[in-house]
Amino acid sequence: MDSYPLIRCQPGDSILGWNDGKHVSVDQFLADTFSLSQNLPNATWILNLCDNRYRFLVGFAAALIKRQTNILPPNKTPKVLQSIASQFPE
């Protein structure tokens, strides 16, 4: 399977985004992402329920690093989450 860089051609101190009113650099994003990827369970799928945009991005990227499929539900209602749990039992 081919692999690709998570971020290309960006200096580490470039601002990637904002979190809690503070800028987040490329280096910080990569550190957060790799740290989370080391703590994710070994699974085929990952359910990303993050409301915070930065944390969502970190979770999404961490799952990519682990080659996990991100499951992105349309909402967090119990019915939807139960349906997802039955389709992706892992």
Whether the pLDDT of residue 7 is over 90: the answer is no
> Which contacts qualify for 60-65: CB closer than 8 Å, 24 or more apart?
61/6, 61/29, 61/33, 61/37, 62/33, 62/34, 62/36, 62/37, 63/37, 64/6, 65/6, 65/33, 65/34, 65/37
Whether the pLDDT of residue 58 is over 80: the answer is yes
Query: What pLDDT, on a 0 to 100 scale, did the predictor assign at position 77?
Result: 96
Choice among 20-24, 60-64, 86-90 with the minimum mean pLDDT = 86-90
User: What percent of the chain shows pLDDT beyond 90?
Assistant: 83
User: What percent of the chain shows pLDDT beyond 70?
Assistant: 99
Task: Say how many Å lie between the first and final Cα of the chain, rounded.
Answer: 23
For range 5-28, the mean pLDDT? 90
